[in-house]
Amino acid sequence: MKVKKYIYKIYNSNIINSFTSSICGTLASVFFKKASDLSFLKNNFDVINEDFIIQILLRIIYFFLFFFFNILMIKYYLLLMRHYSAFFSTVLNFSFNFLLSAMFGIIFFNEKRNFFWLVGLTLIISGLVLIMKDTEYEEKKDI
C-alpha cells in the first residue's frame, strides 16, 4: 500500500518529466558520440564497399536520433518548468543527467569512474536533497 502511495506521489510531483528529459538528453549525447565516431574511415578510406556504406548509413541514423532525443528532452524539460522554478528544474535535470550519463558511459563506452567522480556524485546528491527540502519548506510556508 505504501509503495502505491509513493509511486502516486512521484507521478504527481512531475519528477517523471525531469527523469524523462534526462534520459532523452543522455541518449542524445550517446547518439552524437556514436555519430561523430569516424574511426571506421581509417581502414576503409580508399575503398567504398558494403561495410563502408553501412557505416555511413548508421552514422546518419545516429545523427537523426540525436536530434529526435534532443527535441524530446526540451519538450519534457519545458513540461517540468511549468510546475517548478527554473532553478529547481535545472538542478533536478542536471542531477539526473549526471547520473544517467555516467551509467550510459559505462554501458555503451566502457568508461571507468574514479574516486573523484564519486565525490562529485555525493556533492550533487547532497545539494539536491538540500534544495528539495528547501522547496518543501517554501511550499508549506506558502500554504
pLDDT digits 0-9 by tens, 88-142: 788 788 888 888 888 898 898 888 888 898 898 888 888 877 877 776 666 566 6
Cα 41 from Cα 55, distance rounded (Å): 9
Please indicate whether residue 69 or residue 137 has the higher confidence score (pLDDT).
69
* Predicted model pTM: 0.74
Most confident of 19-28, 78-87, 97-106, 133-142: 19-28
Please indicate whether residue 27 or residue 136 has the higher confidence score (pLDDT).
27
Q: Report the chain's mean pLDDT, rounded to a whole number.
A: 83
**pLDDT(7) > 60:** yes
Cα 45 from Cα 29, distance rounded (Å): 26
**pLDDT(143) > 70:** no
Which residue's entry shows cell 504527481? 12
User: Could you tell me the CA-to-CA distances from 128 to 50, 61, 71, 131 in Å, in that order?
Assistant: 49, 36, 25, 5
* Number of other residues whose CB lies within 10 A of the CB of residue 35: 17
Q: Identify the pLDDT of residue 131.
A: 77
Cα 113 from Cα 111, distance rounded (Å): 7
Cα 93 from Cα 51, distance rounded (Å): 39
**pLDDT(44) > 60:** no
